[in-house]
């Protein structure tokens, strides 16, 4: 019912960009060992509740997104200059900035199969660093150098003061 749920959400909300849930598929023994940050780094996007307009801070994943052709015609394609990733975040940000309505269809679920190699500490460190680089690249694109530097320092502070103690 995946596609039907996305199309229903588009119809109900009159939205031309609809995101759905992304559920991690891992061996049952590994899933409980991962905290919410690690699950997010691996691409999990779970939305509960009913179909609704989406105004939250978190961007729907391009791994489960219905996009009307007219959006591509009006705002352009994904930015391929963002080589470390983040082009989906950039795309949704540009869509929102141009007034496009974004909605969420929690019942439109895709299964994201995670190979064992992606549940290792080394991979999680690598992809976390890459995600940090993505944030910095998007901050630079949208806010300039000074803001990017300030936000990077704030994220480092958050990692040291909040996330590192959780890890311990």
Q: Which pair of structure tokens corresponds to residue 13? A: 């909300």
Provide the residue count of the chain.
168
Higher pLDDT, 75 or 158: 75
Q: For the whole model, what pTM was predicted?
A: 0.80
Residue 4 or 158, more confident? 4
13 vs 30: CA distance, rounded Å = 37
* DSSP category for residue 111: E
Task: Average the pLDDT over 31-53 and give the result.
Answer: 87
Name the strand (E) or helix (H) holding 78.
Answer: none
Q: Which of 61, 67, 52 has the alpha carbon at shortest distance from 103?
A: 52
What average pLDDT does range 115-137 have in this prediction? 87
Burial (CB count within 10 angstroms: exposed 0-12, middle 13-18, buried 19+), residue 105: buried
């Amino acid at each position: 019912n995946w596609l039907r749920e996305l199309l229903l959400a588009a119809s109900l909300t009159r939205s031309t960009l609809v995101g759905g849930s992304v559920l991690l598929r891992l061996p049952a023994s590994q899933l409980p060992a991962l905290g919410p940050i690690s699950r997010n780094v691996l691409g999990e996007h779970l939305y509960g509740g009913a179909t609704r307009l989406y105004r939250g801070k978190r961007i729907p994943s391009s791994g489960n997104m219905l996009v009307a052709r007219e959006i591509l015609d009006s705002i352009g394609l994904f930015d391929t200059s963002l080589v470390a990733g983040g082009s989906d975040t950039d795309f949704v940000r540009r869509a929102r900035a141009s007034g496009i309505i974004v909605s969420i269809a929690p019942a439109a679920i895709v299964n994201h199969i995670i190979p064992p190699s992606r549940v290792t500490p080394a991979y999680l460190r690598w992809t976390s660093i890459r995600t940090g680089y993505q944030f910095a690249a998007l901050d630079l694109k949208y806010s300039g150098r000074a803001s990017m530097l300030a936000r990077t320092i704030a994220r480092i502070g958050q990692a040291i003061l909040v996330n590192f103690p959780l890890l311990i």
